[in-house]
Structure 1
């Protein structure tokens, strides 16, 4: 999920009552809820699509769940002590207990992979013990309705706290409402994949922006080119929210020229490692592009695609597409 959602979840957990357990509880919860995204630093050394195969991995797995909160709790504890030595510690801050700081940092950090699992992008929950991707297909990666539930609940809680009211209850109601909303979306996804997609071996129900009650049903074609993961030779059906179908064009290698394509092996390997429903397509210049059906819409194509170099095209594309 986006970082605003992660931050709101951490803040609402604090307003549900946990922020009174120790000083600096809110920073522990909010920063902890965002901490696994430190893997975004990979943009400093990875190129092109390579980041797709790196992110949501090692910093989102079990070892990180333990170590990242420990680092955060240590930094916050040290910050409090540093302020106290310099006489700049706020008078209204509660006493800081390292144990509670670690527990709250851990809770905040744990909410991150749970939320990331909810969308179609995927997460490697068991890294480094396993590189398997897990997908919840429950929420769109940016969910404005979840923003509204958590944001309004946070505002009401802070407002009640300012006026001496029961601010904990507002936070608790917001958390309950968020859980109920997520559960409702899980039921919608299950219905789309198991009822609408009942006649297919595989069906991916992809949530769409704004209309949380709708699902874009992706049915991968059985014709594949590579073994792991498959490249779709012919049409992958994307059943749109209005009942129409949008289909990637059938791949025709004879229409694509690949001599000037500059993609590297590492980019393609990373893309295929990340991709869930990959397929081949010719772009406007006649070059071969690998895309993913989850992100076939024009707004996402540039960020979720990779060009094939000539050597890769010769390796991947058979002379007879039916072979």
Structure 2
């Protein structure tokens, strides 16, 4: 999920009552909820789309869950001691307890992979012990309704606190509603998977991709490598993700990956890869999950030295028959 959502979750957990456990509890929760995204620093040394094969991996796995909160707790504890020595420590701050700082940073950090798992992008939850990708297919990566719920509840709780009212209850109710909202969306995705199972082939995968804003709607994708279709609701038929004239035969990626780091990273990350004809007649490797104008350049790899070979007529006829 996006970092606004991660931050609001950390803040709301604090407003549910945990921020009274120690001084600097809110920074521990909010920063902790964003900690795994330190892997975004990879943009400083990785080119092209190599970041796709790096992000949501080692910093989102079990070792990071333990070590990153420890580093954060240590920094916050040292900051409190530093302010005390300089005489700038706020008088109203609660005593800082390292054990609680670590516990809250740990809780905040755990919410991050839990939320990231919810979308179709994927996360390697067990890295470095396993590089398997996991997908929740439950929420779009930015959910404006979750923003509204979490943001309003945090504001309302803080407002009540300033006025001396009961401020924990609104936050706790909002957390329960958010969990219910996530659970409902998970059930919708599962239901779509059961009722729109693809007739394309026994080996086809089906992906229910949540839409932005229309959070209860789904884009249905089905297929396998270089053979992806979407469910056209109006025609009640599975349609190829790209027209026949734009499709290419799948190139020898085993050999190409050895010399093309972008391609190797992309195929490691990709869940629904296919080959498309570029304007110059070469090959573009894309992912069906992100095949729309705003994402095409970010989620694709160009193979300028590989010519697009049209799919054999027999293959196109077979796919048409399945559709």
TM range (shorter): 0.7 to 0.9
Superposed counterparts of 1:193-232, under 5 Å: 193-197=193-197, 199=199, 201=202, 202-221=205-224, 231-232=225-226
Superposed counterparts of 1:1-323, under 5 Å: 1-197=1-197, 199=199, 201=202, 202-221=205-224, 231-232=225-226, 234=227, 236-239=228-231, 247-250=241-244, 252-253=247-248, 265-310=260-305, 313=306
**Alpha-carbon displacement from aligned partner over 1:66-98 (angstroms, at most 9, x marks no partner):** 000000000000000000000000000000000
Answer yes or no: is the 8 Å Cα contact 1:35–1:109 preserved in 2. Answer: yes
How many angstroms does 1:287 deviate by? 2.4
Residues 297, 319 of structure 1: alpha-carbon distance in 2 compared, 3 angstrom cutoff: closer
Question: Residue 33 of structure 1 aligns to a residue in which SS?
Answer: helix
How many angstroms does 1:153 deviate by? 0.7
Unaligned runs of 5+ in 2: 252-258, 316-323
Range that drifts further, 32-41 or 239-248: 239-248
Q: CA RMSD in A?
A: 2.4
**Alpha-carbon displacement from aligned partner over 1:220-244 (angstroms, at most 9, x marks no partner):** 15xxxxxxxxx30x4x212257667
In the aligned structure 1, how far is the partner of 2:39 from the partner of 2:235? Answer: 38
Answer yes or no: is the 8 Å Cα contact 2:116–2:123 preserved in 1. Answer: yes
Q: What TM-score comes out, normalization by structure 1 length?
A: 0.88
Residues 308, 9 of structure 1: alpha-carbon distance in 2 compared, 3 angstrom cutoff: same
In the aligned structure 2, how far is the partner of 1:105 from the partner of 1:48? Answer: 33
Question: Residue 294 of structure 2 aligns to a residue in which SS?
Answer: helix
How many positions carry a matched residue from both structures? 302
How many angstroms does 1:317 deviate by? 6.8
**Alpha-carbon displacement from aligned partner over 1:253-293 (angstroms, at most 9, x marks no partner):** 59x9xxxxxxx600000000000000000123322100000
In the aligned structure 2, how far is the partner of 1:243 from the partner of 1:100? Answer: 57
Unaligned runs of 5+ in 1: 222-230, 257-263
In the aligned structure 1, how far is the partner of 2:248 from the partner of 2:161? Answer: 65
- 1:226 corresponds to: none
Range that drifts further, 91-100 or 189-198: 189-198
